[in-house]
Structure 1
């Protein structure tokens, strides 16, 4: 066991809330965090789940209200007091910036966290190339080169491959952490992930009938 595969979208509230924690866990236990940013809605819909635009107002209000506030307090991380104005903008370019740096390592960790934090604390528009360039420079990158790489054919292909890999791994939401082939969905499962690092859970005995 040497790595955690991390499926998430670059605009995910709960990926942000668990971002620092999962990176701390990897550092503590000597694990590599393997980044797999994905286009979330296509993956969710392909798995048969409802995208947020199709969910009830009560569900959306709860998700973007109390649940985020409570977990921000639990994780001791800052967060906006309202849903980001730019939350529905395309985040492909931001995802490409992560992918252009690779799938692991300090620079990738920093970029992923910075994008999530800027979106959920400062309402960063993840489709705004100018704003993304400023963020890239703040992390010490050549913003022109990085944005060019983020839009390259190879990065776009990797982004789609991540989506295919997520579907094959039965990922249906962000964030999902995979450790030794076992999936843990949601940042609220991070304590389970940490327990599994040292004491793996027993193999499941459940036998569920297929869903019609």
Structure 2
């Protein structure tokens, strides 16, 4: 039986973008199943002491930009660390990923999530725009009208809130967050530890 990696993330997060493809590569390498769980990071921040970017001290904001440049250079991953459409409302994009999971399975939802992250951080696209999301759904092989409609139904919103409740129950306070065998790993810079854990299966 394959390991399951619960993947709690916010599609607008640069750190999630930096780790996304590496997580999927690890999962394939070790025969693990990744379960995408987009959630409401703002609600979690409000309950766990996190601050949205605009409310952080200037020193922390400046260091964040340095770290994003370092990591994108190190990984060879194209990234505009100050993209045109950021901050951006993530709710519709998150619900679209949930709808894609229901319609076509986890792998397709994860591919769509990666496309949404690239749209923000490499392609200067607005992921709060329904037309942009619809095009990304088409490019991910989905029936765009159907999944866009599903993303705007109560079922998708209810799952989004359940994901958030589950994140809080798992002790999540940031993104990306990976849970394997009940152990939490915070941040794309903890993927080495995720791999070590998978090696011990």
- Report the TM-score, using the length of structure 2 for normalisation: 0.93
- Whole-Å separation in 2 of the counterparts to 1:172 and 1:124: 27
Tell me the CA shift for residue 197 of structure 1: 1.0
Larger displacement relative to structure 2 (94-103 or 175-184): 94-103
Pick the structure with greater CA Rg: 1
What is the correspondence of 1:37-52 to structure 2 with a 5 Å cutoff?
37-52=38-53
Contact between 1:49 and 1:172, CA under 8 Å: does it hold in 2?
yes
Contact between 1:15 and 1:174, CA under 8 Å: does it hold in 2?
yes
Residue 79 (structure 1) aligned with residue 90 (structure 2): no
Tell me the CA shift for residue 89 of structure 1: 2.2
What is the correspondence of 1:13-28 to structure 2 with a 5 Å cutoff?
13-28=14-29
Contact between 1:45 and 1:51, CA under 8 Å: does it hold in 2?
no
- Whole-Å separation in 1 of the counterparts to 2:96 and 2:6: 18
Contact between 1:18 and 1:75, CA under 8 Å: does it hold in 2?
no
Question: How many residues are treated as equivalent by the alignment?
Answer: 198
Residue 165 (structure 1) aligned with residue 166 (structure 2): yes
Partner of 1:5: 6
Larger displacement relative to structure 2 (42-51 or 91-100): 42-51
Larger displacement relative to structure 2 (182-191 or 123-132): 123-132
Question: Which structure features the higher share of helix residues?
Answer: 2
Structure 2 counterpart SS, 1:122: coil
**1:56-102 deviation digits (Å, cap 9, x = unpaired):** 01111221x2111111122221111x412221221111111100022
What is the correspondence of 1:178-189 to structure 2 with a 5 Å cutoff?
178-189=179-190
**1:149-194 deviation digits (Å, cap 9, x = unpaired):** 1111100000001111111111000100011111110000000110
Larger displacement relative to structure 2 (51-60 or 171-180): 51-60
Structure 1 stretches of 5 or more lacking a match?
201-212
Structure 2 counterpart SS, 1:101: helix
Partner of 1:101: 100
- Whole-Å separation in 2 of the counterparts to 1:163 and 1:106: 21
Q: RMSD over aligned Cα, in angstroms?
A: 1.4
